[in-house]
């Protein structure tokens, strides 16, 4: 089990968080995603290492930016 935390900018509401969560959940190996709109923190739990580029692509697809 691997846990990684990233920061996403541009989220302002629960809908934003849900969009980010939905896109990240589509990455193979991801088992859980926790998103905090207040801090921009996105914690990803997975059964293997997830490539940062995959996370960045998912966040971009949701309309936000990984920093």
Mean pLDDT, to the nearest integer, of 11-19? 97
Tokens of 22: 């939905």
Q: What are phi and psi of 34, to 5 degrees?
A: -120, 125
| CATH number listed for the domain at residues 2-66 | 3.30.70.100
Q: Is the pTM of this model over 0.85?
A: yes
Q: Could you tell me the pLDDT band of residue 6, with boundaries at 50, 70 and 90?
A: very high
Residues 39-62: tens digit of each pLDDT: 999 999 999 999 999 999 999 999
Judge whether 59 and 65 are in contact, CB under 8 Å: yes
pLDDT for the residue 23: 98
């Amino acid at each position: 089990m691997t846990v990684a935390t990233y920061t996403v900018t541009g989220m302002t509401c629960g809908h934003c968080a849900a969009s980010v969560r939905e896109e990240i959940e589509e990455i193979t190996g991801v088992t859980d995603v926790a998103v905090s709109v207040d801090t921009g923190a996105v914690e990803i739990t997975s059964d293997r290492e997830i490539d940062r580029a995959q996370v960045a692509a998912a966040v971009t697809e949701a309309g936000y930016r990984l920093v």
